[in-house]
Amino acid sequence: MSPAVGLAFLLAGGATSLPAAVAVWALVRPRVFAAYLAFAGLGSTLAAHAFAAVLCCGGCLGRIVRWWACRLRPENACSYPTPLRSPPPGP
């Protein structure tokens, strides 16, 4: 799973979980509840796409985010060079 997909699940999961949905359903009309779900889904999707754009082709910020993502999840095959460190000097 890519980090952007994980972000989408993280954002949408809190808004669409059963306890949160029941609480909102009790307070608002069905039309407002549908808008709540639509905004939660659309917002998490847009945030994930923006994060993916920064992660993949965001220039310096994208390199920094990729560097941290690689360090936080070392089991991923980081196929790109580390942008923040110089290679060690040769023997």
pLDDT digits (tens, 9 = 90+) for 33-78: 999 999 999 999 888 888 877 766 655 566 676 677 777 765 554 5
pLDDT of residue 69: 72
CA-to-CA separations, 28 to 7, 16, 33, 43, 78, in angstroms, rounded: 27, 15, 6, 20, 47
CB 54 within 8 A of CB 14: no
pTM of the model: 0.56
Segments making up each domain of the chain, as ranges: 3-72
Alpha helices in the chain (DSSP H): 3-16, 18-27, 30-57, 59-72
CB 74 within 8 A of CB 90: no
